Amino acid sequence: MRARFPDSEGKINRDGIQLHYEVYGQGEQSILFIPPWWPMVTARCFKGQIPYFSQHYRCIAYDPLGNGQSDRCVNLDAYGAQNHIDDALAILDATNTASAILFGYSCSGSLCAALAARYPDQVDAVITISTTSSLAPPHARRRPDDYTKHFDQPVGWQKYNREYWKEGYADFVDFFSQQIFTEAHSTKQIEDTQTWAAQTKGEALITANDAADNSPPFMDRTDYQKIHCPMLLIHGAEDAIIPVASSKAVAAATKGELLVIPGAGHAAHGRYPALVNTLMRDFLARHNLASPKTGHNNPVPAPHKIRRSKKALYLSSPIGLGHARRDLAITRELRKQHPGIEVDWLSQDPVSRFLQANHERIHPASSKLASESSHIESEAGEHDLNAFQALRNMDEILIANFMVFQEAVEDGNYDLIIADEAWDVDHYWHEHPQLKKAQIAWLTDFVGFVPMPDNGPEEAVLTTDYNAEMVHHIERHPGVRDRSIFVGNPCDILMGSFGDNLPDMRNWVTQHFDFCGYVLGEHPDKFGNREELRAALGYHLGEKVCLVTVGGSGVGGALVRRILDAYPMAKRHIPELRMIVVLGPRLDPARFTFPDGVEVHGFVPDLDRHLAACDLALVQGGLTTTMELAAAGTPFLYFPLNNHFEQNFHVTHRLDQYGAGKKMLFDESCPDTIAHAMVDELSRLKKYKPVEADGARRAAQMIAELL
């Protein structure tokens, strides 16, 4: 799912050839994102920038000729320098844009420069990533003559070859995308590039390249010296496509600002979007080109008033309400230790609704956050969610939300950030420690991606790579997290390695985390006498109450239907059975057929009390709900989502430590099987290991030590 969709879109027609464009945002100032004229990518290569900048600017992007939603054309006359300039001008005209900031990448960097030199009234500033230019020679390993030679079996840069692109285009794309992203742990960026390149064919690449070879250079030194608008040139120090000398030469000729990013490759805006976005934002502010809405027109922060109370920004994971309940419990304990502490919550629906109902203060920037819950739903199938791949595919949303967070922190003068599985913050602050603006307490209830056995060796390679990046981040920059808190105990951590040649999970986590024990929103011990609780909730003497709840993400519809089909069978064995179904905020009751006698609710504010009072619960494999049941000693069946590594491994392992619940595999659980399991579970006498009741207090004490 995308972080933001265009507000409008259209096509321009140049001599019968159509180019597709999109417009995002309503800002007074416009940014035109110009794609490389090489049709190996689409406008999606700017996905790390557009969702953020479109909150403050009017952003325009278009697909290059030959890819995306633009026409596929192999006519040599349609390409070439002047045609690409005309394309950009036509896009500006079609979108009624009098002038714009130009953002270019690779070969479109020289196109941006040409527009700035020849049409200065229409260009407010130029920002380029790894720009090409005629002012510096290419890398010596790229021999221009190799493009037209014949190779029986080309290797390496010999694949940059006209003949090979006809039959070996896919192999060339694999090679070239890895040259674009030479940084370690770039699997997602490489995969994206390969996906975009697969939308076209080698013939389009050949035509675009031939036209460029037959055209005069976009710019010579005299042309560059005509540029008088502000110019920022960003280049990766390890760029394997275009040498840093190219941007250095342009910066010297234009008196532009040059920023070389150590360790970065050719597409820094794709691999390091948080850094590039802040560099770009601050550059525009220095040149009075910041939108009034950014809050960053003055790059030097204004002094804040002295205040006595401490101030914290709390980030609670939006995937379900379980994190919110425990985070609220921790906050209440924190207020006992630091009376008067001000807490703002950066949160999304449905978490924000829950917090508002509990009289908490929601940060106004929360309205800018892209929905992570909606993304999870879009990735899910019938009781199926590959949680690891869903997180990988959420990269656009995560960078957009990180930038919202970063601005909130920079403007908010916070003493402390409390981040409950805010993966974006943890990732980008570790990649760029200079972006860290406050102390941070990091909380999580699992550590380590685990491949699903049925998903083959490729997933194992990817999870190992992601785990290796996490281990490298923390060991290289141990000071980014001021406190790392594991919500649980050492025995709750899986045994085994993070992957080939990586540390053992349990040993590594115990070295890098403090343990607060499990945190419940409220421990069932505080609910009072069970019979009195049942009576208060409307449960009748002698009935067996079965509670069905599948969380707030909307993924559990298939499980609910199967349980509803099992209900009549179970009731024949247990006449006193009463079933209550809690659908949550994202499942429409109209989409279900409920047997007679089944009660349905959309939202139950005191669900934890119902879980403690019922006789049996049927739930998904989420940690919060299952641990609430374990703490209450309630019998339950849990159905982990297929391909969900956390539910199938981390949660199952933890429940096993408490001897809690019966695991059911959805694919092996027909209604009849579920009905029999319900009867069996109600007839068993099981006692779970007690769940600690002071986890919230212990977590709050650890956090309070930072204040």
How many Å apart are CA 115 and CA 218, to the nearest integer?
10
Alpha helices by DSSP H, listed for 413-455, are 423-431
How many Å apart are CA 505 and CA 497, to the nearest integer?
5
| pLDDT value of position 215 | 76
549 membership: H or E segment, kind and range: strand 544-549
How many Å apart are CA 319 and CA 379, to the nearest integer?
13
CA quadruple 162, 166, 170, 171: dihedral sign: negative
CA quadruple 34, 38, 39, 45: dihedral sign: negative
Is 493 within 8 Å of 506 (Cβ atoms)?
A: yes
- The residues facing 601 across adjacent strands are 582
| pLDDT value of position 64 | 97
Q: What is the DSSP string of 404-417?
A: HHHHHHHHHT-SEE
| pLDDT value of position 553 | 62
Does residue 705 surpass a pLDDT of 90? Answer: yes
315 membership: H or E segment, kind and range: strand 311-316
| pLDDT value of position 24 | 98
Measured in whole angstroms, how far is the alpha carbon of residue 178 from the centre of its chain?
22
Q: What is the pLDDT of residues 75-131, one digit of tens each?
A: 999 999 999 999 999 999 999 999 999 999 999 999 999 999 999 999 999 999 999
Domain spans of the chain, in order of start: 8-137+216-286, 144-210, 311-521+697-704, 528-683
pLDDT band at 300 (very low <50, low <70, confident <90, very high): very low
The whole-model pTM stands at 0.94
CATH top-level class of 528-683: alpha beta
Q: What is the mean pLDDT of residues 680-686?
A: 88
User: Which of the listed CATH numbers 3.40.50.300, 3.40.1190.10, 3.40.50.150, 3.40.50.1820 matches domain 8-137+216-286?
Assistant: 3.40.50.1820
Q: What is the pLDDT of residues 343-384, one digit of tens each?
A: 999 999 888 988 999 999 999 999 999 999 889 889 999 899
- Owner of token pair 């010596």: 140
Q: What is the mean pLDDT of residues 298-319?
A: 70
* Residue 172 CA: distances (Å) to CA of 107, 124, 147, 526, 605: 18, 37, 13, 64, 56
Rg (CA), the chain: 28
Give me the CATH code for the 311-521+697-704 domain, please. 3.40.50
CA-based nearest residue to 677, from 642, 636, 706: 636
Packing angle, helices 187-197 and 169-180, rounded to 10:
140
Q: What is the mean pLDDT of residues 6-11?
A: 97
Q: Do domains 8-137+216-286 and 311-521+697-704 have the same CATH topology?
A: yes
| pLDDT value of position 588 | 86
Q: What is the pLDDT of residues 238-297, one digit of tens each?
A: 999 999 999 999 999 999 999 999 999 999 999 999 999 999 999 999 999 986 544 444
Q: Which amino acid is at 691?
A: V
